[in-house]
Amino acid sequence: MELIQLAVPVLLKGLWVTAALTLVSVLIGFNLGLGLALMRLSSNRFAIGFAKYYSNVFRGTPLLVQIFIFYYGLGEVSLIRNNAVLWWVISDGSRCAVLALALNTAAYTSEILRGGLMSVPAGLVEAAQACGMSRLLRFRRIEFPLAIRQALPAYGNELILVVKGTSLASTITVLEITGYAKRLMSQTYAIFEIFAIAGMLYLVVNLLLVAAVRSIERYLMRHEARARQGVSTPLLDGTVTV
């Protein structure tokens, strides 16, 4: 009990850092991933090639390696070291972790959103074109809403991976949940207990995240649920109810 009273308040301080890393990384990564997905579906060969190789590089290498390259490797490049803005980004562990997480999740997000956009029925797009909708209006009102419905379950999994990926930020001196757990471990030597509590915090965060994603999914699919409820069903006397 004393260990719990000691560990929980400390780990909760790391929880806020974990939440901040996740939120900022997801906001940046989603917008970048959406841009990459649109590039993959464009007719520009250069844009297609760039988006494709970007996705392959970041999905094909471990996140930990990417974090180390950004934090330890880029600081040795004179162009970055002599540039005030770039040096500001990579000189801090938290900012460097956000950069690595955002670029990594953008690669996975681009593939998820590309699949969602490709699932939009061509007939709906052609109908919007026939109605005179501009490309931007068509994307905002038809393509993106339908694509996000299809992509949301897979994107929910990606959000969970981002939360768990924040634990790797502890390797570059960021004190999030795992970082504080390592500090407590060195002070108390209660390895199993400390990391069990840390694991429970990650579990609670991810369960709340799953619940939020499912709520959004039900909201986006509410029209289909109403349609299923309104399907005609035969009664015992042979009549039909709607």
* Cα separation values, 135 from 33, 110, 132, 142, 187, Å: 19, 20, 9, 10, 59
| In-domain check, residue 4 | no
Q: Residues near 8 by Cβ (< 8 Å), separated by ≥ 6?
A: 197
pLDDT at 23: 97
Q: Is residue 105 part of a domain?
A: yes
Residues 6+ apart with CB under 8 A from 226: none
How does pLDDT run across 142-190, given as a tens digit for each residue? 899 889 999 999 999 999 999 999 999 999 989 999 999 999 999 888 8
Q: Is 211 part of a structural domain of the chain?
A: yes
At 216, list the tokens: 């959004």
- Give me the pLDDT at residue 225, please: 61
Residue 5 lies in a domain: no
Show the domain range for 90.
Answer: 11-241
State pTM to two decimals.
0.88
- Whether 1 maps to a domain, the answer reads no
Assess if residue 222 is contained within a domain: yes
pLDDT at 240: 46
* Cα-based distances in Å from 42 to 49, 51, 56, 175: 11, 10, 18, 41
Instruction: Please report, for the domain that includes residue 84, its CATH number.
Output: 1.10.3720.10
| Number of domain units in the chain | 1
Which helix or strand (DSSP H or E) is residue 62 part of? Answer: none
